[in-house]
Amino acid sequence: MKHRQFQAFGRRQQGVSLIVVMVMLLLGTIVVLSSTRVGWLNERLVGGESDYQRAFAAAEALIRDAERDIRGLQINNVTPCNNNAGYVGCRNFAGNQPFFPQEDNDLDLLQARVASGANTCLQGICLPASVTALGAATWTTNLAAMTAGTGATSIGAKYGEFTGIDPAAAGNPLLSWSRPGVVPVVAPRAWYWVEVFRYTDAAGIVAAAGNVPIPDKKHPYVYRITAYVQGMKGGTRVWLRSVFVPRPQNQNI
């Protein structure tokens, strides 16, 4: 009788041990899965941050490229974009392209050329009716239209498109794009637009930007540059804006 009680007690011990082992295995599995999920989330966070930083750097490079386009200079900020007859800075004036005004009386001709573009913009040059006409909401809702078109029908300008800088040499894949007929085809992910204002009409953006110099009387223009970059990840978007006066009063620039 006592022997049978001992056997029953031993079986109960074995049952408890099995339950403990199963619980430990379950806890171990939960720990492993949790660690894997944390690692996956960290990887996504790091990857997302890296993509954002790359897009932000591309937007800054676009701002600098737009400034060179406005001033008509190559990447060294000294050599003219194009010395060929018929060019005004980086733009083909003789080819009926929009251009950045050099003198006070250039605005009417520019208006006539840009009027053929959508959204009062053509090839990265915009002549909006007011400083609020092309606000942030417009860029967002009309993004497909603003990034559409190529060559003479393009709305936005791409990195190096007019300054002649090789996008591949920038070291940032978000700035790369392929010119027509070039293989492989690389779809653009970065654009800029430049709004042209007379200084007398730009009080709103000058006040908001702060420390904007007064332009030279012979070149009374203020430029608001908008850069937009799409990251490699679907949710990465970067917008940057800058106010630029290429020829401040009392300076030879």
Share of the chain above pLDDT 90, in %: 25
Query: For position 47, what pLDDT does the model report?
Result: 58
Below-50 pLDDT ranges, the chain: 2, 6, 9, 253
* pLDDT given for residue 235 in this prediction: 83
- Could you give the C-alpha distances from 224 to 191, 198, 207, 244, in angstroms and in order? 14, 11, 13, 6
- Block residue for tokens 């900020």: 77
Q: Tell me what pLDDT residue 249 has.
A: 75
CA distance 45 to 54: 14
What is the rounded distance in angstroms from the CA atom of residue 239 to the CA atom of residue 218?
32
User: Looking at residue 77, what is its pLDDT?
Assistant: 80
Q: What is the pLDDT of residue 201?
A: 72
Number of H helices, E strands in the chain: 5, 7
All structural domains of the chain with their residue ranges: 46-244
3-state SS class at 231: coil
Q: Flag whether the pTM goes above 0.85.
A: no
